Amino acid sequence: MTDLSVLRLRPKSKPQAIRHGFPWVFADEAVLDRRTRAMPAGSFAVLEDAERKPLALVTVNPNSKIVGRVMDTDPQAVVDSGWLRARLMRALHLRERLYDAPFYRLIHAEADGLPGLVIDRFGDAAVIQPNAAWADRMADDLADALVDLTGVSTVILNGQGRARGLEGLEERMEVLRGQAPTEPMPVPMNGATYLADLMGGQKTGLFYDQRPNQAFAQRLAKDATVLDVFSHVGGFGLAALAAGASHATCVDGSAAALELARGGAGRMSAADRLDTVQSDAFKAMEKLAEDGKRFDLVVCDPPAFAPAKSALEAGLRAYERVAKLAAPLVAPGGYLVLCSCSHAADLTAFRNASARGIGRGGRRGVLIHTGQAGPDHPMLPQLAETGYLKALFFRLD
């Protein structure tokens, strides 16, 4: 990687943000002349300030609003197999210290020094989500490094989702190493057993980020009746059953996800304590209220209603509506858990929307706990987007 191209900041841009750890260069901050626009997506360049002083090594994508992503603070760094292995090994050491079993998010993008890249590990398999052009181009190098460093035999590339579209990348699904799983992967977590569809499920097949919040919910779940809305494969519902809940109901729009939830409950010998409802979540909550149903613990973990700032106002209204519909379903003295994975809605805005919704639902309560993603989803302090997950635990009157 000699004779690298140059990506230069505009004179009014603030290079100190990069020097202080901010990892992105937006298109309106850089000089986008003909030479820059001709750079191949995923190529590497030296980032310079307006005075031509080198700042960092970046990966460039002229097709994205994030035209540059910092790869290394050393402008002379070389991103090769050795560089990749060093970053992967650093991330692996942290996860091995945190978890006894190899089920976790191994790479959390910028926070692990590999911008736009997500890797989740499922025992002997790993799923790569290359949401930046450089990672898409170097997927085979990443697969080789994963096999060498972790010993996994199967590496799957799941190139789907909104983030790839924003990078101008096409959708793709490939098995890079090993064989495609023929059955869902059993994943032990918090004493529960989940089933992850690594080839056809949402994202990489399972959401590890809620692990600590599901563990906290377990403290409220013993002998309780539980409603898990937007349950996916039974995230909170199966955790509650593992903690001794008397019964759990999982509501989701996906028949495939609910089938996996039932399969997980069966592996836990808890199938007789689980009901599933395939339905639009809002309609399901309205119907439960009409039927006079009440639960000791209600959890709502919807998809990102505000994935970008442009959707923030509508997203907050949706979160408020979730709280309004969920609050009446909580038995007196019971608990309501409201979650948001929208990075555009910060904690304060989400908390306020949730509180308004609880009030509009005719209930009052106190906030007893605020949760976030687990430590295998580290947060880069300079990048608010890496702290996307919020979980609010209320005790209602």
Q: Note if 341 is an active site residue.
A: yes
Q: Which two tokens stand for residue 61?
A: 């994508």
Contact 304, 316 (CB under 8 A): no
**Which CATH superfamily, name and number, covers 81-177?**
RNA methyltransferase domain (HRMD) like (3.30.750.80)
**Which CATH superfamily, name and number, covers 5-72?**
PUA domain (2.30.130.10)
Mean pLDDT of 167-183: 94
Q: What is the pLDDT of residues 190-200, one digit of tens each?
A: 999 999 999 98
Q: What is the DSSP string of 50-74?
A: TT--EEEEEEE-TTSSEEEEEEESS
For residue 142, give Cα distances in angstroms to 61, 88, 137, 173, 326.
19, 9, 10, 15, 43
Phi and psi at residue 259, in whole multiples of 5°?
-65, -40
Q: What is the pLDDT of residues 307-359, one digit of tens each?
A: 888 999 999 999 999 999 999 999 999 999 999 999 999 999 999 999 999 99
Provide the residue ranges of all domains of the chain, joining segments of one domain with +: 5-72, 81-177, 185-396
Number of neighbours of residue 362 by Cβ within 10 angstroms: 9
Q: What is the per-residue pLDDT for 2?
A: 53
Sheet strands (E) in 179-323 = 185-189, 192-196, 225-229, 247-252, 274-278, 295-300
In which residue are the tokens 């349950």 written?
231
Instruction: Report the C-alpha gap between 71 and 24 in whole angstroms.
Output: 10
pTM: 0.94
Q: Catalogue the long-range contacts made by 47-53 (C-beta closer than 8 Å, 24 or more residues apart).
A: 47/6, 47/7, 47/8, 47/9, 47/18, 47/75, 48/6, 48/7, 48/8, 48/9, 49/8, 49/9, 49/13, 49/15, 50/8, 50/9, 50/10, 50/11, 50/13, 50/15, 52/8, 53/15
Contact 322, 340 (CB under 8 A): no
* Beta-strand pair 125-130/117-122: antiparallel
Number of neighbours of residue 319 by Cβ within 10 angstroms: 27
Instruction: Report the C-alpha gap between 135 and 131 in whole angstroms.
Output: 7
Instruction: Report the C-alpha gap between 146 and 152 in whole angstroms.
Output: 7
Phi and psi at residue 180, in whole multiples of 5°?
-65, 135
Beta bridge partners of 248: 226, 274
Q: What is the pLDDT of residues 118-157, one digit of tens each?
A: 999 999 999 999 999 999 999 999 999 999 999 999 999 9
* Stated length of the chain: 397
Beta bridge partners of 396: 365
Q: What is the per-residue pLDDT for 308?
A: 87
Name the catalytic one among 250, 300, 339, 341.
341
Closest CA to 205 of 99, 120, 267, 116: 120
Reduced to 3 states (helix: H, G, I; strand: E, B; else coil), residue 332 is strand
Q: What is the pLDDT of residues 127-137, one digit of tens each?
A: 999 999 999 99
In which residue are the tokens 């639009």 written?
280
Mean pLDDT of 159-172: 88
Percent of the chain with pLDDT over 90: 92
Say whether pLDDT at 1 is over 50.
Answer: no
Tell me, yes or no, if the two domains 81-177 and 185-396 fold the same way.
no
Mean pLDDT of 110-115: 97
Q: What is the DSSP string of 75-131?
A: TT---SHHHHHHHHHHHHHHHHHH-SSSEEEEEEGGGGT-TTEEEEEETTEEEEEE-
The model's confidence at residue 15, banded by pLDDT at 50, 70 and 90, is confident
**Which CATH superfamily, name and number, covers 185-396?**
Vaccinia Virus protein VP39 (3.40.50.150)
Instruction: Report the C-alpha gap between 5 and 88 in whole angstroms.
Output: 26
Contact 380, 386 (CB under 8 A): yes
Percentages (nearest 5) of helix, strand, coil residues in the chain: 35, 30, 35
